[in-house]
Amino acid sequence: MAKLEQPHLLFDLVRWLFIASVAGALAGTASAVLLVSLAWATQLRESHRWLIALLPLAGLFVGCLYKYLGSSVEAGNNLILEEVHDPQATIPLRMTPLILLGTFLTHLFGGSAGREGTAIQTGASLADQLTRFFGLNAKDRRILLMAGISGGFGSVFGTPLAGAIFGIEVLAIGKLGYDAIFPCFVGAFVGDYITHAWGVHHTLYVVSSVSKLTPITFIAAITAGICFGLTAMLFAKTTHAISHWFKKHIAWGPARPLLGGALVAAAVFAAHTTRYVGLGIPTIVASFTSRLPWYAFAAKFGFTALTLGAGFKGGEVTPLFFIGSTLGNALSHWLPLPSSLLAAMGFVGVFAGAANTPISSSLMAVELFGPEAGSFAAIACVVSYLFSGHSGIYHAQRVGQSKHSALVYEEGLSLALVAKGRLEEDIDALADVDDFDLLKGFEMADLAVLRLYFSASEVLKHDSWWRRMLPQNLGSYLLQQAKEVGIEQALLHRVIGGYLKNQQLVMDNSEIPPPKLPQCLELIGEEDLLQTFLKRNQNHLKSIRIMFLRGEEARIEAAIDKEEIEEALRIERSEHLLD
């Protein structure tokens, strides 16, 4: 007789209902604190505009704060996405207070930033603290992080339905995994409920007029979507380019927001207006009710790209709402659609293109503007998503499925690697690599390679029962041990498929890796340090396969690896020529 699956599903449902509710409550509370603090910061700044002159000093303080106390969490949203893709170590709790303080200071002294980045970081980092408490494995931890992302996003904008899907959709372009769909829904709806329970409410946006859907208005919606997508792509590329310029020319991190803050403050006083700094909520509301200067979106674009590119903290999404709604307002001069409807379409459309999240953006439009306006907004979101290309505000986001068949070779890569690959398209990737798969000038004679093979769900073996109740992932533990020993390089490789000795073949066909999926921890360093690592962790390594390659063996192995890389590149190039 076949076993019923419903009892197991019911157990998982009840289990995740409790865990995701706790994560959602934490995210909702953090969002309430954020929203109240930003409202207070905005009111204080507008009452004392001389505070904007202190923006450079605020930038210096925030830069020092992250350099000396928060270097491990400085990557922000990209760190969280990387942890969801490849779980390594628990996100430090300090991420929450640091991002809350950094965002507050950015807004208090006149930077142009948002709040979604802060909400995602607080939601995910607080949720991740539950990993050890509930004894979650790597697979469950990824689900918990996704629920934290959904809780933060849904609660900070008052859009739980959009938040639930955002936590799933933001991970990989064009690819959705449903393993975490229930926890994400619970986290988003509980987070939104808790934020309201704290007495915090969200801004209401009213679309005063909606056109009928006709061939002409349909084409107009597509045209608007193209404009929103190109703007989203330009914003992402500009912000990353400014960030790259600051990092290239200013070595000391805290000096970057110091200079960026001086430039933003000077621009504010030169423009004689604070309309384009902070969240810009009053201007967003005005874009739904009246005609605004056509250049409003460009001004907010510039202020935000400079603020975030220089290293100030906050999010990109609320400024994207501003850019999109004012751009839609400007397009109403030429497109046969009401200005309030175009403002609503731009509000979510630019965000959809920049974050590569057309589904959650469309759901947000329905939640904020109603189903009639939401239909037009959904058209704009889909088109914007397509026209923004393989670019976006989250560099750790991966290309799950290419937006165009001509770019399928970029599938599986992060947006950071996509951007780097396109810049170096005409450069021989192996030109500076020697026969040992190392950059020229690097001596490998004194190094050795240690490889450990084990499953992704492997946990530490403990003798005491109370420590077995709080299992720790073996991979993340060994990475920490390698760092403490002083091993030069450590990489934990996630594979597409394979099998270990006496185990069945396992393939990774979903967003969440199977528990028995093999993985390889590769350590490169001095042989003495590798031997010290083995002795220190021998009790935890009894049941895993170990390969130790000394100098000449490692040299031969590296040469073989390089031959395989060259052959793969040769095949890929020949396939492109045939296409």
For 218-242, the pLDDT digits (tens) are 999 999 999 999 999 999 999 999 9
E strand or H helix at 399: strand 398-399
Q: At 36, is the pLDDT very low, low, confident or very high (cuts 50, 70, 90)?
A: very high
Give the SS3 label for residue 509. Answer: coil
Asked if the structure places residue 258 within a domain, the reply is no
Residue 575, token pair as written in the block: 């396939």
Same-domain status, 334 and 368: yes
Examine the fold and report which residue of 197, 226, 257 is the final residue of a domain before the chain moves on: 197
Q: How many helices (H) and strands (E) does the chain have?
A: 22, 8
Assess contact for 433 and 506: CB atoms under 8 A: no
In this prediction, residue 437 carries a pLDDT of 40
Asked if the structure places residue 420 within a domain, the reply is no
Same-domain status, 385 and 466: no
459 sits in the region (left: phi over 0; alpha: psi -120 to 50; else beta) called beta
Q: At 1, is the pLDDT very low, low, confident or very high (cuts 50, 70, 90)?
A: very low
How buried is 6 (Cβ within 10 angstroms: 0-12 exposed, 13-18 middle, 19+ buried)? exposed
The amino acid at 409: Y
Same-domain status, 390 and 530: no
In this prediction, residue 431 carries a pLDDT of 44
Same-domain status, 346 and 397: yes
Q: What is the mean pLDDT of residues 451-468?
A: 70
Q: At 565, is the pLDDT very low, low, confident or very high (cuts 50, 70, 90)?
A: low
What CATH number is associated with residue 180? 1.10.3080.10
In this prediction, residue 2 carries a pLDDT of 54
Same-domain status, 397 and 527: no
Same-domain status, 160 and 221: no
In this prediction, residue 442 carries a pLDDT of 41
Q: At 458, is the pLDDT very low, low, confident or very high (cuts 50, 70, 90)?
A: confident
Q: What is the mean pLDDT of residues 171-192?
A: 95
Share of the chain above pLDDT 70, in %: 87
pLDDT averaged over the chain?
87
pLDDT, tens only, 72-131: 898 899 999 988 988 878 899 999 999 999 999 999 999 999 999 999 999 999 999 999
Same-domain status, 456 and 394: no
Question: Model pTM?
Answer: 0.75
Q: At 497, is the pLDDT very low, low, confident or very high (cuts 50, 70, 90)?
A: confident
pLDDT, tens only, 369-394: 999 999 999 999 999 999 999 999 99
Residue 34, token pair as written in the block: 């954020």
pLDDT at 155 over 60: yes
Same-domain status, 233 and 189: no
Same-domain status, 221 and 346: yes
Asked if the structure places residue 152 within a domain, the reply is yes
Same-domain status, 232 and 110: no
Q: At 561, is the pLDDT very low, low, confident or very high (cuts 50, 70, 90)?
A: low
Q: What is the mean pLDDT of residues 318-327?
A: 98
In this prediction, residue 444 carries a pLDDT of 47
Asked if the structure places residue 441 within a domain, the reply is no
Q: What is the mean pLDDT of residues 269-296?
A: 96
Q: Strand 398-399 relative to strand 172-173: parallel, antiparallel, unpaired?
A: parallel
pLDDT at 398 over 80: yes
Domain that holds residue 244: 215-248+272-410
pLDDT at 54 over 90: yes
pLDDT at 39 over 90: yes
In this prediction, residue 455 carries a pLDDT of 83
Same-domain status, 299 and 174: no
In this prediction, residue 440 carries a pLDDT of 40
How buried is 337 (Cβ within 10 angstroms: 0-12 exposed, 13-18 middle, 19+ buried)? buried
* 3-state SS track over 355-393: HCCHHHHHHHHHHHHCHHHHHHHHHHHHHHHHHCCCCCC
Asked if the structure places residue 422 within a domain, the reply is no
Same-domain status, 14 and 103: yes
How many Å apart are CA 21 and CA 262, to the nearest integer? 43
Asked if the structure places residue 1 within a domain, the reply is no
Asked if the structure places residue 398 within a domain, the reply is yes
Higher pLDDT pick, 111 / 555? 111
The domain tally of the chain equals 3
What CATH number is associated with residue 517? 3.30.70.120
Q: At 71, is the pLDDT very low, low, confident or very high (cuts 50, 70, 90)?
A: confident
Asked if the structure places residue 378 within a domain, the reply is yes
